Amino acid sequence: MTEQHSEAKRVAILGANGRMGAEAVKAVEAAPDMELVAALGRGDSLDQVTAAGAQYLVDLTVPESTEANVRFAVENDIHAVVGTTGWDAGRLAALEALLAGHPETGVLIAPNFAVGSVLASAFAAKASKYFESVEIIELHHPDKVDAPSGTAVRTAQLIAAERGAAGVPASPDATTSELDGARGCDVDGVRVHSVRLRGLVAHQEVLLGSAGEQLTLRHDSFDRASFMPGVLLGVRNVAAHPGLTVGLDGYLDLGF
């Protein structure tokens, strides 16, 4: 932990020994406007976060622990930037209810911190109402514990909302006989297929099809460095966005 200017943002990182957490430790330590005041792994007490005077908590842990971690942050009026997956509608609703009692505290739940991924999902959602069919393929390293990816779930939700608002019917599909899983899973009416392959990091394709044409929107994270500008952007902006924000796009100016 480096000596920083006294007005530096005081940041705690949870999951600091993990793939993402270790990268985030390096990024926060290198950020001139931030001070890493706590770096916690599994089994460490959250009291270290308050004892260190953290103003910001970055959660990069596991789906089972993220909800309790963020609850702890909000109850202590610490802004939270969350990359961990597992935030379903029930968890988000409970978090919003908690935040209502802490009106100055901000929480960012970011399914993907890579700006290119956020853009690809937004473009796909916008484009999806002009195509008859849409399906998602997400491809990740085989050590990932959750499927489908949080990014794919978010992308499917954005697509479903856009198509629903435009009155576009569900993608056509004549399948009446299939082996379990052959057609992927259904997220809000959008089929999502998950690939786990050694050598991969984090990748996604949205396939959009109409008669005689296909548009493919693909994003690749080749390295976890790709997520770090988004993590830092989250820390820099979360206090100015009290309440709950889902998606880094909430802090970007996408122009649509």
Ligand X SMILES: O=C(O)C1=N[C@H](C(=O)O)C[C@H](O)C1
Ligand Y SMILES: NC(=O)C1=CN([C@@H]2O[C@H](COP(=O)(O)OP(=O)(O)OC[C@H]3O[C@@H](n4cnc5c(N)ncnc54)[C@H](OP(=O)(O)O)[C@@H]3O)[C@@H](O)[C@H]2O)C=CC1
**Options 79, 140, 193, 219, the catalytic residue:** 140
Instruction: Count the site residues for ligand X by CB under 6 A.
Output: 9
Q: Which is nearer to ligand X, 85 or 171 (CB)?
A: 85
What would the DSSP string read from start to end of the chain? -----TTSEEEEEESTTSHHHHHHHHHHHH-TTEEEEEEE-TT--THHHHHTT-SEEEE-S-HHHHHHHHHHHHHTT-EEEE--S---HHHHHHHHHHHHT-TT-EEEE-S---HHHHHHHHHHHHHHTT-SEEEEEEEE-TT---SS-HHHHHHHHHHHHHHHHHTPPPPP-------TTTT-EEETTEEEEEEE-TT--EEEEEEEEETTEEEEEEEEE-SGGGGHHHHHHHHHHGGGS-EEEESGGGGS----
Please give the residues from 194 up to 233 whose contact with ligand Y meets the rule CB under 6 A: 227
151 touches ligand X by CB under 6 A: yes
**Options 102, 126, 129, 144, the catalytic residue:** 144
Binding part of the chain for ligand Y, among 35-43, 124-132, 156-164, 203-211 by CB under 6 A, reads: 35-43
Q: Rule CB under 6 A: which residues touch ligand Y?
A: 14-15, 17-21, 40-42, 60-63, 65, 83-85, 110-113, 150, 227
Active site residues: 140, 144
Residues annotated within a binding site for NAD(+): 15-20, 83-85, 110-113
Binding-site members are 15-20, 83-85, 110-113, 141, 150-151
